[in-house]
Structure formats: C-alpha cells, structure tokens
C-alpha cells in the first residue's frame, strides 16, 4: 500500500514538474516504472522456515541480542518465553508479577507480562514486543505467538514452508 502511494506521489510530482512537455512526462513515467520493477530498490524483509519432522515450524530468534529457539504458535495470543530463556536474555525477572492466567499444553499456570526491547528473526526485527514469561519448569519451548506475527505484513504456509514477510 505504501509503495502504491509513493508511486502515485512521484507520478504527480513528475507530471507537475514536466507539465506541458510530453517528453519529460514520458521520461518521468519510465523512471518510476523502472523503480517499481527493480527488486533491489527496497530491502526484502522475509524469512522462510521449513516444517520440522514433528509438523512444527521451529526457528532461532534473537531476544534482546540473545539467540534462542522458538516454535511458531498461531494459537498463542502472545510471545511466551520460558523462565530459563528470559533469564538468559537478561530480562528483569525479580520485577515480574505472575498475574496472568494462561493455558499451556501442560495445563493451566500463571504468567508475567513484559515487553521485549527487540525480537529478531533473520531480517525481521520488531521492537517493544509484548510477551509473557512462565514460571520455571512450566514450559519446555518458547512460543512465537500473535503479538509478533500480527506485526508482519503477512505470513503463510505453502508446501511445508512458512513464509514470514515484514513491512518494507
């Protein structure tokens, strides 16, 4: 959508500048068209994740600069981290209040809310991502839930591959 708006604005500016000169209008239109077709004009922010043997989509993420394994979970409202991962990422565990009821694969528990400064998956980098931390031993895997996925331009599964696309 942003790209279309940008093209429109550039076209209008080019037409105004070249008003009355059909050669200049044609040259400006050609330039704008070539910018649109050239895939190298904007950095592509996308990550492709293959399906694992168990049917899951697992990946390595960077949480505040610390590498950690995660599993995509579209059924999870939020990014959910284990206590151990949160500790390794240097999150302020002593300040957490476990006051959010959550239901995990292992049953019901309580979690603490916090905001991750930075969550990166390859070229996809999001800041100020809402997350939950579960108490020690309550979960074995970190979940990449909708509080991250909703920030992307799109995500889709095709032929056992999950494609995550960020906004340009």
For the segment 74-93, the average pLDDT, to the nearest whole number, is 95
Q: Which fold has domain 46-165?
A: Cathepsin D, subunit A; domain 1 (2.40.70)
As a whole number, the mean pLDDT across the chain is 85
* pLDDT recorded at residue 53: 94
Residue 35 DSSP SS3: helix
d(CA 77, CA 53): 25
Q: Which two tokens stand for residue 45?
A: 């922010």
Q: Is the pLDDT of residue 99 over 70?
A: yes
Q: Is the pLDDT of residue 20 over 80?
A: no
d(CA 30, CA 26): 6
166 in Cβ contact with 48 (< 8 Å):
no
Q: Quick count: other Cβ atoms within 10 Å of Cβ 159?
A: 6
Closest by CA position to 28, among listed 53, 8, 2, 46: 8
Q: What is the DSSP letter of 140?
A: S
Length reported for the chain: 168
The alpha carbon dihedral of 66, 68, 72, 75 has a sign of negative
Q: Which two tokens stand for residue 22?
A: 């059909």
Q: Is the pLDDT of residue 17 over 60?
A: no
Q: What is the DSSP letter of 138?
A: S
d(CA 77, CA 58): 17
* pLDDT recorded at residue 2: 64
Q: Is the pLDDT of residue 88 over 50?
A: yes
d(CA 114, CA 24): 55
């Amino acid at each position: 959508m942003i790209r279309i708006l940008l093209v429109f604005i550039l076209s209008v500016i080019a037409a105004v500048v070249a008003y009355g000169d059909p050669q200049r209008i044609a040259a400006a239109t050609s330039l704008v068209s070539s910018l649109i077709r050239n895939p190298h004009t904007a950095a592509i922010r996308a990550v492709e994740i293959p399906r694992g043997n168990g049917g899951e989509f697992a990946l390595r993420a960077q949480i505040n600069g610390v590498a950690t394994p995660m599993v995509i979970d579209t059924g999870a409202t939020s990014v959910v981290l284990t206590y151990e991962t949160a500790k390794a990422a240097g999150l302020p565990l002593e300040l957490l209040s476990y006051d959010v009821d959550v239901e995990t694969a292992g049953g019901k528990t309580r979690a603490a809310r916090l905001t991750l400064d930075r969550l990166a998956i390859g070229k996809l980098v999001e800041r100020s991502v809402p997350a939950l931390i579960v108490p020690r031993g309550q979960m074995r895997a970190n979940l990449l839930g909708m509080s991250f996925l909703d920030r992307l331009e799109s995500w889709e599964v095709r032929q056992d591959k999950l494609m995550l696309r960020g906004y340009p």
